[in-house]
Amino acid sequence: MRINDRVFGMLMLILAVAYGWEATQFPIPFGGNESVGPETFPIMLSIILAISSIYLIVKPDPDEKWAPVPMLLQLLSVAVALLIFAWAIEPVGFIPSAALVVSFISWRMGATVKHSVMTGIVSSIVIFFLFNYVLELALPLGILEL
């Protein structure tokens, strides 16, 4: 099967065209047009990307196998967990959100629930104290703030 490269080449071709078209729409800079403007380099890049995407569509390499759907969902859950951590770090605070995300990833990687929760709690507390008191980089306390 040589689907991966074909699909990816297609996507990149669309990107190249969109990117190049966008470059032609840049507003004219103050002082009028010169021989080279902000659009010159992007247009070159879009041409290069377009050529290499077309090559990929015409001569694709053999596929690397994708993970089965359940595994992809699992990877998605890890990515979402990291996003939730990013969102929660300020309102909720570093320690609880870090403990949660580390426990979750560790559990998804195959640790038992008990061990992963322990890893999460210990590592988040140690890193919090290390950063706040040894390295003096303030991390938000969030709900733990009294």
Q: How far is the CB of 86 from another protein (least distance, A)?
A: 3
Contact between 142 and another protein by CB under 8 A: the answer reads no
Contact between 13 and another protein by CB under 8 A: the answer reads no
CA torsion 14-20-23-25 (nearest 10°) is: -70
Closer CB to another protein, residue 61 or residue 145?
Answer: 61
Q: How far apart are CA 112 and CA 108, in angstroms?
A: 9
**Secondary structure letter of residue 35 according to DSSP:** S
Q: How far is the CB of 141 from another protein (least distance, A)?
A: 14
Contact between 73 and another protein by CB under 8 A: the answer reads no
Residue 87, exposed/middle/buried by CB under 10 A (0-12, 13-18, 19+)? Answer: exposed
**Quick one: three-class SS letters along 48-110?**
HHHHHHHHHHHCCCCCCCCCCHHHHHHHHHHHHHHHHHHHHCCCCCHHHHHHHHHHHHHHHCC
Contact between 86 and another protein by CB under 8 A: the answer reads yes
**Residues binding another protein (CB under 8 A):** 4-5, 8, 12, 19, 22-23, 26-27, 29-30, 34-38, 40-42, 45-46, 48-49, 52-53, 55-56, 61, 64, 66-67, 71, 74-75, 78-79, 82-83, 85-87, 89-90, 94, 98, 101-103, 105-106, 108-111, 115-116, 119-120, 123-124, 127, 131, 135, 137, 139
